[in-house]
Chain A
Amino acid sequence: MKSVPNFAFHFLGTQIAIITLASLASFATFANPHEYILANGLKLIVKEDHRSPVVISQIWYKAGSIDELNGTTGIAHALEHMMFKGTKKVRAGEFSRRIAEAGGRDNAFTGQDYTAYFQQLHKSRLSLAMGLEADRMRNLKLTKEDFIKEIKVVMEERRLRTDDQPRSVMHEKMMAVAYQSHPYARPIIGWMNDLENMSVHDAQDWYDRWYSPNNAVLVVIGDVNPIEVFSLAQKHYGKIKSRPVPSLAARKPQVEPPQIGTKRLVVKAPAQLSYLVMGYHAPALRNADTDWEPYALEMLAGVLDSNASSRLNKELVRNQRIASSVNASYDFAVRGPSMFYLEGTPSEGKTVTELEVSLRGEIEKLIRNGVTEEELTRVKAQVIASHVFQLDSTFYQAMQIGKLETIGLSHRDLDVMLKKLQFVTAEQVREVAKKYLIDDALTVAMLDPQPLEERSLVPSFSELRH
């Protein structure tokens, strides 16, 4: 709970992807989303899904680690934890307890570009969830005592998810190297020293700056009537006054200076196997209608790695057996710049350097010979199927809408995106590979595994049965 997932927006495999397909129009349960804007600037998006008598309500704030400053990294996420500490009307911990007693589930997550809170419950309880959520949008009570306890929890979370996970440490350090000025260089959870020196005032400042209806998007999906949801939103959120919050367009762009040569880093950590990550700077989607490169890059990732017979797995794991696992990934739905990743674990007896050579070999081959129609058609089929499969989950549908809205795109772009992906050509895939997978834009991170010392059973007061 109150966690920091790094949600990707991939259109393939098990990742998140939803689009209202033309072919689904006949399925009456999936009406197009309805969009409303309250007088105070809160945007509401409602999507009907009448399969089950449940509803999900997610509120997304356009404030994530990207908006943080040095010295207080991790504050977006720390505030997310503090949002469960009560208001004038609701005691600490009471929020989750009330949702639970109503048969619901609630949680929250912080990303680079956003902070979001959600409740899932029976449709008859939507008003309860909205009432509680609206209350803490303006009336949060932050105390020093609560903060001191909660920041310890956040530090435990950091130890659990980052410090003791070699690959997370590696990812964190790699970001810090790949970006020299852009805030994506900093971890969502924050540097430990910043957490140690964070105060309740930092939390209050962050809350006052960003938590306002005009900086939020409310997404409701389920067995609901849009007009009724709109009235509920009016009732609960309508009276909260807006505050001056810079729009996404008005925030400082912080454009990353061009990289001018390969960067390399080695990370030592207790592990058995080595690990390799190669990251190339790549563009994100800015205009769903006119951009084409992000779609081609998405297809490139698919050709390399969307199923077990895709190029990387087939060649490096199955045929050459140089790797125990490999993957390629790219996420165009981000507010800041994007990155195209190639990653892998070398087989026993092989080195990360050998794996890097092989991965580069695959990229060179692709640039030289292009991709086949057969490969591209297969990836496109997977894209469509994934979209349909994701319609099975209201949670993912809400995630996708919220994510697009908080990076400056619209939920309406989803349809455009699916269509555009279907039109990507083999030549475009080759072209973006040639343009972006270049040494000057590359950061290479290697995990140097450190053996654990012979594990010892710590001799101590044993507690045999008595």
Chain B
Amino acid sequence: MTALDDTRPELSKNPQRNAATTRVWPASVGLMRRSLVNIVRLPSAFIPSIMMPIFQAIAFSGTFFAIIQIPGFPTDRSINWFLPLGVVMGSGFAGIGIGFATIRDLEGGFYDRLRLTPAPRTSLVTGPLFAALVRSAIVTSIVFVVGSLFGARLTHGPLGLVPLFIAGLGIAAIGTGWGLGLAYRFRDMRAAAIMQLTFFLLIFLTEAQTPLFIMEGWLEGVTRINPFNNVIRLSRLGFLDAPMTWDNTWGGLLALFVFAGGTLLFARRGLAKLSDV
């Protein structure tokens, strides 16, 4: 860039005509509210995101009810095993859904309007992130209530909800970072397929359906090294007979922390690169 005169013109010094400095928090809340309002106004996107995890928890626990007869299976209720999986899946889609919505905004041009505002760039990521967290909390609550009606029980009391919610919120954050990052890079629906495929693969290559000790071959090997297996374990802590110890907890927390941080950074860098294309 060549240098132009560095003096500020009078017009930019007139506070009456200029916007104030926009802070991250109010901008994020504004964008979160917009996302949530739009979710409600687009039932075709919202209803499946609620129904899918409920259906998954109930259908899997019914279809695979005999899983509890496996010697050493850590719970006597199949719904206790599959309810947390439904929460993780639902929360992941709450995050990825933000990616879909962002693709719609990018394709429709509305995202340009957001980028034209002086709102801190971070808020363009944190706003949708907050919306995904709220969605995740709603999904987790609904799935838990419906699952309880179908016989799910917290084996360690209400404290068992904490790891369930942490896992859900963490997965939603990862889904948001991944979804936004891909949306910014592809800027069209090609990103949607990658978002879903990678997410499904990572979740199902875990103890999502069967415990590790009965797995064999490559699936066992992959599950052992898949960090998301720790997240699935974390989500189930409050529903299994095994004690809720730090040893059973930290692996999931670490995976959530590392992946959420990494994917949100991936999103932030993708946003910065939008100006190059």
Q: Do A and B come from one complex?
A: no
Q: Which residues of B contact A (CB under 8 A)?
A: none
Q: Which residues of A contact B (CB under 8 A)?
A: none
